[in-house]
Amino acid sequence: MNEIKKSIYSRELETFFEPNVVESFSNSDKKKLQLFQHISQKLLKRSKKSYAEKHRSRFQSSWGLLTNLILKGHGNTKACDCVRFGHFQLMNGILDFNKDNLKKIYQQTFLQEDNLFPWHPESAKDIRLANIQMKKPYFVCLNYKFSKHLLPQKKKNQPCVIVSELNDIKQESEIVKQYIIYHPFTIFIKNYIYNEQPVVFGQILVNHEYLDGVAAAYYLNSFLTYAGLTEIDYSLFHHSFLQKVFDEADKREHASNNNSFKVKTKILSAQASNEVIEHYNELSNIYKQSGYKLSVETYLTAYFFHLLSKNETTGCLLKFSFAIEEQLDFHAINHVKKLSKTLLYNPVEFISKYSKYITSKNHISLYHSEDAIISNLIKPLTDKTPFWALKIINKIVEKAGISRNIIGQMVITHVPSSLKKDNKYIELGHGFGGPTCAPFQDVSLTFGFIKDKNKQIKHLVLRKKCREKR
């Protein structure tokens, strides 16, 4: 295997991705990054006072602080769509739109202590959600009687639950956009009929400074489950129905009128998906023969990095932690084109040259502690710097293009259907979410799966956001 197969799946993907959306680093970019690292080290040596406890009490974690600096969208009509994200899911059943019923479901999901997202330690409370008036949700029913004078015109600090009976998707999307901007997060619910079978579509639309992808998936799945709905088998639904519903979800999620970072969901054809998975199986067996384990998630991350990247570009992964003082971390991978190509097409060289990406249990993983940007670079700086100074530093590094160089031009993520914590699986549901990225990045991508009852992958589902070509 010396080169990528030029088969139908690569052509199908090439039409989905924007050509040349990712730019290469220049020598001046590298010099700026080196200068920032040098100045940061000088600041850390000189600073004696610690602001760590103060920042934790306000933002919970360095990640929480960072979302406030670079991913803030609540109430800001000019905020890029990259900083907001959605997660959606289909379930069997029909949902009663009676307001008392919706209130009961909401209370079970968000107000009962035992049902809240299980951060570590168990006593931890999510400060970012605590800043919202969670006990006062705002309920909206969209139907032919809905009047536009009811639309919010200013920032509100309440979650919003919208149920829709509208058939006009354009009208529906325009209305929902207003609620996304002015509320911290919005849950959208709609009933559909497929071949006389009732199904419910749920979508959570989030301003990133309040929730991240894993917690958003958890709360949406909880809401739909407490409504008495059951999981569907996506593989039994026709491709055209699912793509129609997913396209509608994209339209609701895009809050601004420009094309930059416009979200797009694609269900890859069965043939294209099968060819990708066949290549994975072949490659996985080669690694297995040498005693190494390659997961399909790691393979696909490398595959999409290779498809999107150029030489001298940096990729970015997000690593989730149940520890509430960590939450998420950026993992930057330098020279991602060369790394991903080696992993995909030269296993022998990868094992010998990139051994740092092989865990003690012989699992291949693209996460490595040395690459953790928040833990190694940003947290030490934020712990020693007051917030007002961090805001100034953030503006400078963004304007100079340094932020993009530190974190990477592209980010690839995957939200699983469950996560293991203390020998117990936390259910996130079989949904599709993201992507999100910072305004200075070029492209973000999340991938998910449609599986049959035997857990075999039938389709890959991709969601992307790309900045407009510069």
How many CA atoms within 13 Å lie on the side-chain side of 72? 12
Inter-CA distances, 157 with 13, 63, 127, 171, 423, Å: 40, 21, 14, 25, 36
Residue spans of alpha helices (H) in 328-410 = 336-345, 347-353, 373, 379-383, 387-399, 402-407
> Is the sign of the CA dihedral 279, 282, 287, 293 positive or negative?
positive
Question: pLDDT (tens digit, 9 = 90+) per residue, 195-233?
Answer: 999 999 999 999 999 999 999 999 999 999 999 999 999
- Angle of helix 239-253 relative to helix 169-182, nearest 10 degrees, comes to 40
Q: Which helix (H) or strand (E) holds 204?
A: strand 197-207
Q: Is 51 exposed, middle or buried (0-12, 13-18, 19+ CB in 10 A)?
A: middle
> Which residues of the chain, if any, have pLDDT below 50?
1-8
126: closest CA among 327, 390, 407?
327
d(CA 226, CA 217): 14
Q: pLDDT value at position 42?
A: 74
Q: How many helices (H) and strands (E) does the chain have?
A: 17, 15
Q: Could you check whether the bond before residue 380 is cis, i.e. omega within 30 degrees of 0?
A: no
Tokens of 95: 């949902």
- pTM equals 0.94
Q: Tell me how far the alpha carbon of residue 320 is from its chain's centroid.
A: 11
Contact 323, 36 (CB under 8 A): no
Distance CA(277)–CA(238), nearest Å, equals: 21
pLDDT tens across 110-146, in order? 999 999 999 999 888 899 999 999 999 999 999 988 8
Closest CA to 12 of 274, 308, 310, 272: 272
